[in-house]
Protein backbone atom coordinates (compact mmCIF):
# COMPACT_ATOMS: atom_id res chain seq x y z
CA UNK A 1 0.00 0.00 0.00
CA UNK A 2 1.36 3.37 -0.90
CA UNK A 3 2.04 5.88 1.86
CA UNK A 4 -0.63 8.18 0.53
CA UNK A 5 -3.24 5.42 0.61
CA UNK A 6 -2.23 4.68 4.20
CA UNK A 7 -2.78 8.29 5.11
CA UNK A 8 -6.22 8.21 3.47
CA UNK A 9 -7.18 5.07 5.35
CA UNK A 10 -5.96 6.58 8.65
CA UNK A 11 -7.99 9.67 7.94
CA UNK A 12 -11.11 7.57 7.30
CA UNK A 13 -10.52 5.60 10.50
CA UNK A 14 -10.32 8.71 12.59
CA UNK A 15 -13.63 10.08 11.23
CA UNK A 16 -16.66 10.10 13.58
CA UNK A 17 -19.04 9.03 10.83
CA UNK A 18 -19.24 5.38 9.83
CA UNK A 19 -17.95 4.93 6.30
CA UNK A 20 -18.30 1.91 3.99
CA UNK A 21 -17.46 1.21 0.38
CA UNK A 22 -19.27 -1.42 -1.65
CA UNK A 23 -18.22 -3.09 -4.90
CA UNK A 24 -21.01 -2.78 -7.41
CA UNK A 25 -19.19 -4.89 -9.96
CA UNK A 26 -19.64 -7.95 -7.78
CA UNK A 27 -22.89 -9.84 -7.26
CA UNK A 28 -25.15 -8.36 -4.57
CA UNK A 29 -22.97 -5.28 -4.14
CA UNK A 30 -20.88 -6.46 -1.12
CA UNK A 31 -19.10 -4.20 1.38
CA UNK A 32 -15.39 -4.14 0.67
CA UNK A 33 -14.31 -1.52 3.21
CA UNK A 34 -15.54 -0.17 6.56
CA UNK A 35 -13.87 2.26 8.93
CA UNK A 36 -13.58 2.01 12.73
CA UNK A 37 -16.50 4.35 13.38
CA UNK A 38 -18.78 2.04 11.37
CA UNK A 39 -17.74 -0.89 13.59
CA UNK A 40 -18.41 1.25 16.65
CA UNK A 41 -21.81 2.45 15.49
CA UNK A 42 -23.07 -1.00 14.46
CA UNK A 43 -21.30 -3.14 17.05
CA UNK A 44 -20.19 -5.57 14.33
CA UNK A 45 -16.48 -6.30 13.81
CA UNK A 46 -14.66 -5.78 10.54
CA UNK A 47 -14.75 -9.53 9.73
CA UNK A 48 -18.52 -9.68 10.24
CA UNK A 49 -19.05 -6.74 7.88
CA UNK A 50 -16.83 -7.24 4.87
CA UNK A 51 -18.49 -9.25 2.08
CA UNK A 52 -22.09 -8.54 3.27
CA UNK A 53 -24.71 -6.47 1.55
CA UNK A 54 -25.66 -3.41 3.64
CA UNK A 55 -29.18 -4.70 4.15
CA UNK A 56 -28.09 -6.71 7.20
CA UNK A 57 -28.34 -3.45 9.16
CA UNK A 58 -32.11 -3.38 8.71
CA UNK A 59 -32.58 -6.77 10.40
CA UNK A 60 -36.28 -7.72 10.11
CA UNK A 61 -37.49 -4.11 9.76
CA UNK A 62 -37.69 -4.36 5.95
CA UNK A 63 -40.80 -2.46 5.04
CA UNK A 64 -39.49 1.08 5.59
CA UNK A 65 -40.17 3.53 2.75
CA UNK A 66 -36.56 4.73 2.94
CA UNK A 67 -35.36 1.32 1.74
CA UNK A 68 -37.22 1.77 -1.54
CA UNK A 69 -35.76 5.24 -1.92
CA UNK A 70 -32.22 3.85 -1.48
CA UNK A 71 -32.96 1.07 -3.95
CA UNK A 72 -34.23 3.42 -6.63
CA UNK A 73 -31.27 5.84 -6.15
CA UNK A 74 -28.80 2.96 -6.45
CA UNK A 75 -30.52 1.71 -9.62
CA UNK A 76 -30.42 5.18 -11.14
CA UNK A 77 -26.85 5.85 -9.92
CA UNK A 78 -27.88 8.95 -7.96
CA UNK A 79 -26.80 10.42 -4.60
CA UNK A 80 -29.24 10.10 -1.77
CA UNK A 81 -29.72 10.93 1.88
CA UNK A 82 -32.14 9.05 4.11
CA UNK A 83 -32.90 8.64 7.78
CA UNK A 84 -33.50 4.97 8.33
CA UNK A 85 -34.03 2.59 11.24
CA UNK A 86 -31.07 0.25 11.61
CA UNK A 87 -30.15 -2.33 14.21
CA UNK A 88 -26.90 -2.91 16.02
CA UNK A 89 -25.41 -6.33 16.51
CA UNK A 90 -27.07 -6.50 19.95
CA UNK A 91 -30.44 -5.88 18.30
CA UNK A 92 -30.77 -2.32 19.59
CA UNK A 93 -32.41 0.15 17.23
CA UNK A 94 -30.51 3.21 16.07
CA UNK A 95 -31.50 5.93 13.67
CA UNK A 96 -29.03 6.11 10.82
CA UNK A 97 -28.57 9.24 8.78
CA UNK A 98 -27.20 7.69 5.63
CA UNK A 99 -25.55 9.38 2.61
CA UNK A 100 -24.98 7.18 -0.41
CA UNK A 101 -23.02 8.31 -3.42
CA UNK A 102 -22.06 6.24 -6.46
CA UNK A 103 -18.51 6.08 -7.89
CA UNK A 104 -18.39 5.79 -11.69
CA UNK A 105 -15.55 4.66 -14.01
CA UNK A 106 -14.55 6.45 -17.21
CA UNK A 107 -17.32 4.61 -19.10
CA UNK A 108 -19.86 5.96 -16.72
CA UNK A 109 -20.52 2.56 -15.12
CA UNK A 110 -21.05 2.48 -11.35
CA UNK A 111 -18.22 0.54 -9.82
CA UNK A 112 -18.70 1.38 -6.17
CA UNK A 113 -20.96 3.04 -3.66
CA UNK A 114 -19.69 5.02 -0.70
CA UNK A 115 -21.97 5.07 2.35
CA UNK A 116 -21.48 7.57 5.18
CA UNK A 117 -23.55 7.03 8.33
CA UNK A 118 -24.22 8.91 11.51
CA UNK A 119 -26.09 7.64 14.56
CA UNK A 120 -28.79 10.29 15.03
CA UNK A 121 -30.84 8.35 17.62
CA UNK A 122 -30.45 11.09 20.25
CA UNK A 123 -31.41 13.81 17.81
CA UNK A 124 -34.43 11.78 16.67
CA UNK A 125 -35.42 11.23 20.27
CA UNK A 126 -35.29 14.91 21.11
CA UNK A 127 -37.13 15.73 17.88
CA UNK A 128 -39.76 13.21 18.85
CA UNK A 129 -39.99 14.60 22.38
CA UNK A 130 -40.23 18.09 21.02
CA UNK A 131 -43.05 17.02 18.68
CA UNK A 132 -44.82 15.26 21.55
CA UNK A 133 -44.44 18.28 23.77
CA UNK A 134 -45.66 20.59 21.03
CA UNK A 135 -48.70 18.47 20.41
CA UNK A 136 -49.41 18.16 24.12
CA UNK A 137 -49.13 21.95 24.50
CA UNK A 138 -51.38 22.41 21.50
CA UNK A 139 -53.84 19.99 23.08
CA UNK A 140 -53.70 21.86 26.37
CA UNK A 141 -54.20 25.19 24.61
CA UNK A 142 -57.21 23.76 22.83
CA UNK A 143 -58.61 22.45 26.09
CA UNK A 144 -57.98 25.75 27.90
CA UNK A 145 -59.52 27.73 25.07
CA UNK A 146 -62.55 25.46 25.21
CA UNK A 147 -62.76 25.89 28.98
CA UNK A 148 -62.43 29.65 28.65
CA UNK A 149 -65.09 29.81 25.99
CA UNK A 150 -67.33 27.65 28.16
CA UNK A 151 -66.75 29.65 31.33
CA UNK A 152 -67.26 32.88 29.43
CA UNK A 153 -70.55 31.53 28.12
CA UNK A 154 -71.39 30.33 31.63
CA UNK A 155 -70.57 33.71 33.18
CA UNK A 156 -72.39 35.61 30.53
CA UNK A 157 -75.47 33.42 31.00
CA UNK A 158 -75.36 34.24 34.73
CA UNK A 159 -74.91 37.92 34.03
CA UNK A 160 -77.79 37.87 31.57
CA UNK A 161 -80.06 35.95 33.96
CA UNK A 162 -79.57 37.82 37.25
CA UNK A 163 -82.42 40.04 38.31
CA UNK A 164 -80.12 42.95 38.82
CA UNK A 165 -78.88 45.48 36.30
CA UNK A 166 -75.18 45.20 35.58
CA UNK A 167 -72.94 47.59 33.69
CA UNK A 168 -69.24 47.42 32.94
CA UNK A 169 -67.50 50.73 32.30
CA UNK A 170 -63.99 51.62 31.29
CA UNK A 171 -61.96 54.27 33.09
CA UNK A 172 -63.61 57.01 31.03
CA UNK A 173 -67.10 55.81 32.08
CA UNK A 174 -67.83 54.45 28.60
CA UNK A 175 -70.21 51.46 28.80
CA UNK A 176 -68.43 48.29 27.65
CA UNK A 177 -71.36 45.99 28.34
CA UNK A 178 -74.86 46.00 29.81
CA UNK A 179 -76.93 42.96 30.72
CA UNK A 180 -80.47 42.26 29.60
CA UNK A 181 -81.94 43.28 32.92
CA UNK A 182 -80.45 46.74 32.57
CA UNK A 183 -81.70 47.09 28.99
CA UNK A 184 -85.21 45.93 29.91
CA UNK A 185 -85.50 47.92 33.13
CA UNK A 186 -84.39 51.20 31.67
CA UNK A 187 -86.11 50.62 28.31
CA UNK A 188 -83.02 51.05 26.17
CA UNK A 189 -81.42 49.00 23.39
CA UNK A 190 -77.92 47.59 23.32
CA UNK A 191 -77.01 49.91 20.44
CA UNK A 192 -78.10 52.95 22.45
CA UNK A 193 -76.01 51.84 25.41
CA UNK A 194 -72.77 50.04 24.60
CA UNK A 195 -69.93 52.33 23.56
CA UNK A 196 -71.66 55.40 25.03
CA UNK A 197 -70.66 57.56 27.95
CA UNK A 198 -72.69 56.55 31.02
CA UNK A 199 -73.71 60.09 31.84
CA UNK A 200 -74.96 60.69 28.28
CA UNK A 201 -77.08 57.54 28.02
CA UNK A 202 -80.75 58.00 27.02
CA UNK A 203 -81.14 61.79 27.07
CA UNK A 204 -78.59 62.12 29.85
CA UNK A 205 -80.87 60.29 32.25
CA UNK A 206 -77.85 58.96 34.15
CA UNK A 207 -76.35 62.36 34.53
CA UNK A 208 -76.91 62.20 38.28
CA UNK A 209 -74.63 64.47 40.24
CA UNK A 210 -74.21 62.18 43.27
CA UNK A 211 -73.52 59.17 41.05
CA UNK A 212 -70.92 61.13 39.11
CA UNK A 213 -69.22 62.17 42.29
CA UNK A 214 -69.19 58.62 43.62
CA UNK A 215 -67.82 57.10 40.45
CA UNK A 216 -65.06 59.61 40.03
CA UNK A 217 -63.92 58.59 43.49
CA UNK A 218 -63.79 54.85 42.76
CA UNK A 219 -60.85 54.57 40.42
CA UNK A 220 -58.42 56.89 42.14
CA UNK A 221 -59.04 55.63 45.67
CA UNK A 222 -59.95 52.02 44.95
CA UNK A 223 -62.87 52.26 47.39
CA UNK A 224 -65.97 50.36 46.33
CA UNK A 225 -69.36 52.03 46.55
CA UNK A 226 -71.60 49.81 48.64
CA UNK A 227 -75.40 50.03 48.83
CA UNK A 228 -75.59 53.67 47.88
CA UNK A 229 -79.19 54.75 47.54
CA UNK A 230 -80.00 56.94 44.57
CA UNK A 231 -83.42 58.37 43.83
CA UNK A 232 -83.99 59.68 40.35
CA UNK A 233 -86.85 60.55 38.06
CA UNK A 234 -86.26 58.96 34.67
CA UNK A 235 -87.96 60.44 31.58
CA UNK A 236 -89.96 57.37 30.45
CA UNK A 237 -90.11 55.16 33.48
CA UNK A 238 -90.67 57.68 36.23
CA UNK A 239 -89.21 57.75 39.71
CA UNK A 240 -86.88 54.94 40.71
CA UNK A 241 -85.11 54.27 43.96
CA UNK A 242 -81.94 52.31 43.30
CA UNK A 243 -79.24 50.71 45.39
CA UNK A 244 -75.90 51.06 43.66
CA UNK A 245 -72.85 48.92 44.23
CA UNK A 246 -69.76 49.75 42.22
CA UNK A 247 -66.38 48.07 42.23
CA UNK A 248 -63.17 48.67 40.44
CA UNK A 249 -62.05 45.43 38.81
CA UNK A 250 -58.47 44.81 39.70
CA UNK A 251 -57.35 41.84 37.60
CA UNK A 252 -54.12 42.29 35.72
CA UNK A 253 -54.26 41.89 31.95
CA UNK A 254 -57.02 42.81 29.58
CA UNK A 255 -59.72 43.43 32.20
CA UNK A 256 -57.66 45.84 34.28
CA UNK A 257 -59.24 49.07 35.42
CA UNK A 258 -62.86 48.43 34.68
CA UNK A 259 -65.79 49.51 36.81
CA UNK A 260 -68.58 47.09 37.51
CA UNK A 261 -71.85 48.69 38.55
CA UNK A 262 -74.72 46.64 39.97
CA UNK A 263 -78.02 48.50 40.14
CA UNK A 264 -80.80 47.09 42.27
CA UNK A 265 -84.22 48.60 41.79
CA UNK A 266 -85.70 48.96 45.27
CA UNK A 267 -88.58 51.23 44.30
CA UNK A 268 -91.21 48.60 45.07
CA UNK A 269 -89.50 47.44 48.24
CA UNK A 270 -89.39 51.02 49.49
CA UNK A 271 -93.06 51.45 48.71
CA UNK A 272 -93.94 48.19 50.52
CA UNK A 273 -91.86 49.26 53.52
CA UNK A 274 -93.63 52.60 53.57
CA UNK A 275 -97.03 50.91 53.49
CA UNK A 276 -95.97 48.53 56.25
CA UNK A 277 -94.86 51.49 58.38
CA UNK A 278 -98.11 53.33 57.70
CA UNK A 279 -100.06 50.23 58.68
CA UNK A 280 -98.04 49.81 61.91
CA UNK A 281 -98.50 53.42 62.80
CA UNK A 282 -102.27 53.39 62.17
CA UNK A 283 -102.78 49.99 63.83
CA UNK A 284 -100.83 50.84 66.96
CA UNK A 285 -102.55 54.20 67.20
CA UNK A 286 -105.98 52.64 66.87
CA UNK A 287 -105.12 49.94 69.43
CA UNK A 288 -103.80 52.45 71.88
CA UNK A 289 -107.04 54.48 72.14
CA UNK A 290 -109.33 51.73 73.53
CA UNK A 291 -106.44 50.41 75.64
CA UNK A 292 -106.08 53.76 77.40
CA UNK A 293 -109.81 53.62 78.17
CA UNK A 294 -109.47 50.03 79.48
CA UNK A 295 -106.55 51.10 81.68
CA UNK A 296 -108.63 53.97 83.10
CA UNK A 297 -111.57 51.65 83.77
CA UNK A 298 -109.32 49.14 85.56
CA UNK A 299 -108.01 51.93 87.77
CA UNK A 300 -111.62 52.84 88.64
CA UNK A 301 -112.35 49.17 89.39
CA UNK A 302 -109.25 48.98 91.62
CA UNK A 303 -110.51 51.93 93.62
CA UNK A 304 -114.00 50.38 93.85
CA UNK A 305 -112.93 47.02 95.30
CA UNK A 306 -115.55 46.18 97.98
CA UNK A 307 -114.03 45.83 101.47
CA UNK A 308 -115.35 42.27 101.90
CA UNK A 309 -113.95 40.96 98.56
CA UNK A 310 -111.48 38.09 98.52
CA UNK A 311 -107.71 38.43 98.02
CA UNK A 312 -108.13 36.43 94.84
CA UNK A 313 -110.42 39.11 93.42
CA UNK A 314 -107.89 41.86 94.14
CA UNK A 315 -104.95 39.81 92.84
CA UNK A 316 -106.78 39.06 89.63
CA UNK A 317 -107.54 42.72 89.13
CA UNK A 318 -103.86 43.62 89.76
CA UNK A 319 -102.80 41.00 87.22
CA UNK A 320 -105.21 42.42 84.63
CA UNK A 321 -103.71 45.86 85.31
CA UNK A 322 -100.17 44.46 84.90
CA UNK A 323 -100.97 42.74 81.58
CA UNK A 324 -102.68 45.86 80.28
CA UNK A 325 -99.52 47.79 81.15
CA UNK A 326 -97.41 45.26 79.30
CA UNK A 327 -99.67 45.47 76.26
CA UNK A 328 -99.49 49.23 76.50
CA UNK A 329 -95.69 49.11 76.53
CA UNK A 330 -95.61 46.87 73.46
CA UNK A 331 -97.92 49.16 71.55
CA UNK A 332 -95.89 52.19 72.66
CA UNK A 333 -92.78 50.50 71.27
CA UNK A 334 -94.53 49.93 67.95
CA UNK A 335 -95.67 53.53 67.88
CA UNK A 336 -92.15 54.71 68.70
CA UNK A 337 -90.81 52.64 65.83
CA UNK A 338 -93.14 54.19 63.32
CA UNK A 339 -92.41 57.62 64.75
CA UNK A 340 -88.68 57.02 64.32
CA UNK A 341 -89.28 55.81 60.78
CA UNK A 342 -91.24 58.90 59.86
CA UNK A 343 -88.80 61.16 61.73
CA UNK A 344 -91.55 62.29 64.12
CA UNK A 345 -90.02 61.25 67.42
CA UNK A 346 -90.25 64.06 69.90
CA UNK A 347 -87.49 64.84 72.35
CA UNK A 348 -88.29 66.67 75.56
CA UNK A 349 -84.79 67.71 76.44
CA UNK A 350 -84.16 68.92 79.95
CA UNK A 351 -81.21 68.91 82.28
CA UNK A 352 -81.25 65.86 84.56
CA UNK A 353 -79.05 63.99 87.01
CA UNK A 354 -77.95 60.82 85.25
CA UNK A 355 -76.85 58.98 88.44
CA UNK A 356 -80.26 59.21 90.08
CA UNK A 357 -82.12 58.52 86.82
CA UNK A 358 -80.20 55.26 86.48
CA UNK A 359 -80.55 54.33 90.14
CA UNK A 360 -84.30 54.89 89.94
CA UNK A 361 -84.70 52.75 86.82
CA UNK A 362 -82.73 49.95 88.47
CA UNK A 363 -84.88 50.16 91.62
CA UNK A 364 -88.08 49.87 89.62
CA UNK A 365 -86.77 46.94 87.64
CA UNK A 366 -85.48 45.16 90.73
CA UNK A 367 -89.01 45.11 92.08
CA UNK A 368 -90.31 43.59 88.86
CA UNK A 369 -87.51 40.99 88.63
CA UNK A 370 -87.04 39.68 92.19
CA UNK A 371 -85.05 36.64 90.99
CA UNK A 372 -82.20 38.78 89.65
CA UNK A 373 -79.77 40.96 91.56
CA UNK A 374 -79.12 44.14 89.60
CA UNK A 375 -76.02 45.88 90.97
CA UNK A 376 -75.15 49.50 90.19
CA UNK A 377 -71.42 50.23 90.16
CA UNK A 378 -70.00 53.76 89.98
CA UNK A 379 -71.20 57.34 90.04
CA UNK A 380 -70.53 60.33 87.82
CA UNK A 381 -71.95 63.36 89.62
CA UNK A 382 -72.72 65.03 86.30
CA UNK A 383 -75.83 66.25 84.52
CA UNK A 384 -77.09 65.38 81.05
CA UNK A 385 -79.20 67.42 78.69
CA UNK A 386 -81.77 65.07 77.30
CA UNK A 387 -85.10 63.29 77.53
CA UNK A 388 -84.91 61.50 80.87
CA UNK A 389 -87.90 59.28 80.12
CA UNK A 390 -86.31 58.08 76.91
CA UNK A 391 -82.92 57.43 78.51
CA UNK A 392 -84.69 55.42 81.24
CA UNK A 393 -86.50 53.54 78.49
CA UNK A 394 -83.12 52.61 76.94
CA UNK A 395 -81.75 51.37 80.26
CA UNK A 396 -85.01 49.56 80.88
CA UNK A 397 -84.70 47.81 77.52
CA UNK A 398 -81.08 46.83 78.11
CA UNK A 399 -81.63 45.50 81.62
CA UNK A 400 -84.87 43.69 80.64
CA UNK A 401 -82.97 42.01 77.80
CA UNK A 402 -80.07 41.18 80.14
CA UNK A 403 -82.56 39.39 82.41
CA UNK A 404 -84.61 37.84 79.61
CA UNK A 405 -81.64 36.40 77.70
CA UNK A 406 -79.79 34.97 80.71
CA UNK A 407 -82.14 32.30 82.05
CA UNK A 408 -79.34 30.40 83.75
CA UNK A 409 -77.93 33.33 85.70
CA UNK A 410 -79.25 35.54 88.48
CA UNK A 411 -77.23 38.74 88.26
CA UNK A 412 -76.84 41.78 86.08
CA UNK A 413 -74.16 44.42 86.63
CA UNK A 414 -74.63 48.04 85.63
CA UNK A 415 -71.58 50.31 85.43
CA UNK A 416 -71.63 54.06 85.14
CA UNK A 417 -68.54 56.23 84.67
CA UNK A 418 -67.20 59.43 83.16
CA UNK A 419 -65.14 58.94 80.00
CA UNK A 420 -63.77 62.22 78.66
CA UNK A 421 -66.74 64.45 77.85
CA UNK A 422 -69.12 61.53 78.02
CA UNK A 423 -70.98 59.42 80.51
CA UNK A 424 -70.64 55.73 79.76
CA UNK A 425 -73.27 53.27 80.96
CA UNK A 426 -72.75 49.51 80.55
CA UNK A 427 -75.13 46.64 81.26
CA UNK A 428 -73.34 43.34 81.73
CA UNK A 429 -75.13 40.01 81.77
CA UNK A 430 -73.88 36.44 82.13
CA UNK A 431 -76.33 34.83 79.73
CA UNK A 432 -76.42 33.27 76.30
CA UNK A 433 -74.37 35.93 74.46
CA UNK A 434 -74.64 36.93 70.81
CA UNK A 435 -72.75 35.53 67.82
CA UNK A 436 -70.47 37.77 65.76
CA UNK A 437 -72.77 37.66 62.74
CA UNK A 438 -75.89 38.55 64.75
CA UNK A 439 -74.15 41.39 66.55
CA UNK A 440 -74.28 43.59 63.48
CA UNK A 441 -78.02 43.00 63.01
CA UNK A 442 -79.59 43.20 66.47
CA UNK A 443 -80.03 46.95 66.21
CA UNK A 444 -82.17 46.56 63.08
CA UNK A 445 -85.94 46.80 63.22
CA UNK A 446 -87.72 43.49 63.90
CA UNK A 447 -84.49 41.50 64.02
CA UNK A 448 -84.48 38.66 66.49
CA UNK A 449 -81.80 35.99 66.77
CA UNK A 450 -83.02 32.78 65.12
CA UNK A 451 -84.91 30.19 67.19
CA UNK A 452 -85.48 32.65 69.98
CA UNK A 453 -89.16 33.29 69.30
CA UNK A 454 -90.44 30.13 71.00
CA UNK A 455 -88.54 30.63 74.24
CA UNK A 456 -88.55 34.42 74.63
CA UNK A 457 -91.47 36.48 73.35
CA UNK A 458 -90.71 39.87 71.83
CA UNK A 459 -91.03 42.07 68.76
CA UNK A 460 -87.35 42.73 68.05
CA UNK A 461 -87.66 46.51 68.25
CA UNK A 462 -86.37 47.41 71.74
CA UNK A 463 -82.74 47.68 70.63
CA UNK A 464 -83.69 49.53 67.46
CA UNK A 465 -85.55 52.16 69.47
CA UNK A 466 -82.76 52.36 72.04
CA UNK A 467 -80.16 52.82 69.32
CA UNK A 468 -82.16 55.65 67.75
CA UNK A 469 -82.78 57.35 71.09
CA UNK A 470 -79.07 57.33 71.94
CA UNK A 471 -78.19 58.56 68.44
CA UNK A 472 -80.71 61.40 68.89
CA UNK A 473 -78.81 62.35 72.04
CA UNK A 474 -75.49 62.41 70.13
CA UNK A 475 -74.24 59.28 71.80
CA UNK A 476 -73.55 55.72 70.64
CA UNK A 477 -74.90 52.33 71.67
CA UNK A 478 -72.95 49.17 71.02
CA UNK A 479 -72.49 45.60 72.22
CA UNK A 480 -69.59 43.34 73.09
CA UNK A 481 -70.43 39.69 73.43
CA UNK A 482 -69.28 36.11 73.06
CA UNK A 483 -71.70 33.23 72.55
CA UNK A 484 -72.24 31.50 75.91
CA UNK A 485 -70.25 34.14 77.80
CA UNK A 486 -72.85 36.85 78.20
CA UNK A 487 -73.09 40.33 76.71
CA UNK A 488 -72.21 43.90 77.62
CA UNK A 489 -74.35 46.63 76.06
CA UNK A 490 -72.89 50.11 76.51
CA UNK A 491 -73.96 53.60 75.58
CA UNK A 492 -72.44 57.02 75.89
CA UNK A 493 -74.09 60.42 76.34
CA UNK A 494 -72.40 63.82 76.16
CA UNK A 495 -72.03 65.54 79.54
CA UNK A 496 -73.73 68.89 79.86
CA UNK A 497 -71.15 71.68 80.13
CA UNK A 498 -72.44 74.26 82.58
How many residues bind ligand ADP (CB under 6 A)? The answer is 21
341 touches ligand ADP by CB under 6 A: no
442 binds ligand ADP (CB under 6 A): yes
**In this structure, what are the phi and psi dihedrals at residue 278, rounded to the nearest 5 degrees?**
-60, -45
- Which one, 380 or 487, has the nearer CB to ligand ADP? 487
When the beta carbons of 198 and 432 are compared against ligand ADP, the nearer one is: 432
- Residue 73 near residue 79, CB atoms below 8 Å: yes
* Residue in 120, 449, 471, 496 binding ligand ADP, rule: CB under 6 A: 449
Interaction between residue 468 and ligand ADP (CB under 6 A) = no
Residue from 49, 73, 365, 402 in contact with ligand ADP (CB under 6 A): 402
Our CB check for ligand ADP shows the closer of 18 and 431 to be 431
By CB under 6 A, name the one of 431, 468, 492, 495 that touches ligand ADP.
431
- What residue number has its CB nearest to ligand ADP? 458
Residue (386 or 462) nearer to ligand ADP, CB? 462
Cβ distance to ligand ADP smaller for residue 249 or 459? 459
| Region near ligand ADP per CB under 6 A, out of 109-117, 136-144, 371-379, 396-404 | 396-404
- Under a CB-based contact definition with an 8 Å cutoff, are residues 429 and 487 in contact? yes
Q: Does 415 bind ligand ADP (CB under 6 A)?
A: no
Rounded Cα gap, residues 401 and 431, in angstroms? 10
Q: Which of 116, 374, 463, 495 binds ligand ADP (CB under 6 A)?
A: 463
For residue 298, the minimal CB distance to ligand ADP (Å) is: 25
Q: Is 491 in the site for ligand ADP (CB under 6 A)?
A: no
Tell me whether residue 264 or residue 438 sits nearer to ligand ADP (CB atom): 438
Give me the residues paired with residue 230 across strands: 242
State in angstroms the smallest separation of the CB of 481 from ligand ADP.
7
CB of 463 vs ligand ADP, minimal distance in Å: 3
Binding segment for ligand ADP among 102-110, 234-242, 340-348, 451-459 (CB under 6 A)? 451-459
Q: With binding defined as CB under 6 A, does residue 452 bind ligand ADP?
A: yes
Residue 429 as a binder of ligand ADP (CB under 6 A): the answer is yes
Q: Which is nearer to ligand ADP, 200 or 480 (CB)?
A: 480
* Rounded Cα gap, residues 18 and 54, in angstroms: 13
The answer to whether 461 contacts ligand ADP (rule: CB under 6 A) is yes
Nearer of residues 298 and 434 to ligand ADP, judged by Cβ = 434
Does position 487 bind ligand ADP by CB under 6 A? yes
Among 7, 11, 226, 459, binds ligand ADP (CB under 6 A): 459
Instruction: Please pick, from the candidates 432, 469, 493, 495, the single residue that binds ligand ADP as defined by CB under 6 A.
Output: 432
Interface ranges with ligand ADP (CB under 6 A): 397, 401-402, 405, 429, 431-432, 434, 442, 447-449, 452, 458-464, 487
Amino acid sequence: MSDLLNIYIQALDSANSGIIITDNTQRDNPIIYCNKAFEKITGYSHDQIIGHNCRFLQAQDRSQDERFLIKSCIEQGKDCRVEIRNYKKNGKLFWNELYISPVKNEKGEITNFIGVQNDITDRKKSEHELREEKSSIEKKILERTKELVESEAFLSSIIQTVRESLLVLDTNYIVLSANNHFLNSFKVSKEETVGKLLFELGNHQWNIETLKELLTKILPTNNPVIDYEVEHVFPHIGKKVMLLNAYRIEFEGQYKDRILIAIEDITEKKETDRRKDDFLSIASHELKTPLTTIKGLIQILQRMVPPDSSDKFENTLDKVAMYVDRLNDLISDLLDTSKIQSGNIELHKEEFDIDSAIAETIDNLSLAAPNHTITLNGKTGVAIMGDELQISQVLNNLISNAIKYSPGSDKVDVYISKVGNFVKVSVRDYGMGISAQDKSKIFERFFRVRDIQKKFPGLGIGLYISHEIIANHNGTLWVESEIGEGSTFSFTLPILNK
